Chain A
Amino acid sequence: KQEVTQIPAALSVPEGENLVLNCSFTDSAIYNLQWFRQDPGKGLTSLLLIQSSQREQTSGRLNASLDKSSGRSTLYIAASQPGDSATYLCAVKSGGSNYKLTFGKGTLLTVNP
């Protein structure tokens, strides 16, 4: 059974700092991994999707890496801004005929001006 863990559960940083959010999963037989952002009371916004054959994906100030063999992914946010404050969720799609996403509990990020 796939389990996803995100560390830390909460993070508070000053504006401008570079930061890393961590995600680990127990079953390395994944198809892909998605990072989402959730603002309070809102839905999930997909940030980056990494296929199992890829090592990283970049979008603007965001960079996500994937090490499938060790069951780890990181989301790097450069030059953080107050608008980056949100909950960041990691989700994996396991291989085989399993089409569902398995989520971690998320990291609550607060960027202080």
Chain B
Amino acid sequence: EAGVTQFPSHSVIEKGQTVTLRCDPISGHDNLYWYRRVMGKEIKFLLHFVKESKQDESGMPNNRFLAERTGGTYSTLKVQPAELEDSGVYFCASSQDWAYEQYFGPGTRLTVT
């Protein structure tokens, strides 16, 4: 069974540009989560989807971040316009049920210059 996949693995963009990160969860997992780790800090929650619905987006830093989950399958996280402080590693995770173990993808390293 394929694990959680993320694309791209690494993105370098200039301040003010737009970047879209993609996450493909494990097949059959209705719950999808986005997390972020910025340099020197702990991994922090961004938001949680149940199928195509946003269950909790309390961790989204501001309105420059937009997450979508088309048809309850893959998810995208768009940052527009990107700022220097958005640099970090963005992780996606999925779980079969909210109470179950979360499985993480390899992450996307975003560098904003």
Task: Name A's B-contacting residues (CB within 8 A).
Answer: 4, 31-32, 34, 36, 42-46, 49, 89, 91, 98-106
Contacts and interface: CB of A to CB of B under 8 A. Distances in A.
B106 A100 contact: no
A102 B56 CA distance: 14
B41 A46 contact: no
Given A34-B101, A43-B106, A105-B42, A99 B91 contact: no
A102 B45 contact: yes
What's the dominant secondary structure at chain A's contact region?
strand
Nearest to A100: B45
Interface in B1-52: 4, 31, 33, 35, 41-45, 48
B103 interface: yes
Nearest to A102: B45
Contacts of A91: 43
Interface of B: 4, 31, 33, 35, 41-45, 48, 55-56, 59, 91, 93, 98-99, 101-107
19 contacts: A4-B42, A31-B99, A32-B99, A42-B107, A43-B4, A43-B91, A43-B104, A43-B105, A44-B93, A44-B104, A46-B102, A46-B104, A99-B33, A100-B48, A101-B33, A101-B35, A101-B43, A101-B45, A102-B45
B47 to A, nearest CB: 9
Nearest to B109: A41
A37 B110 CA distance: 21
Contacts of A102: 45
A46 B101 contact: yes
Contacts of B101: 34, 46, 49
B28 to A, nearest CB: 17
Nearest to A106: B42
A98 B59 CA distance: 12
A46 B103 contact: yes
A36 to B, nearest CB: 7
A103 B42 contact: yes
A106 B102 CA distance: 17
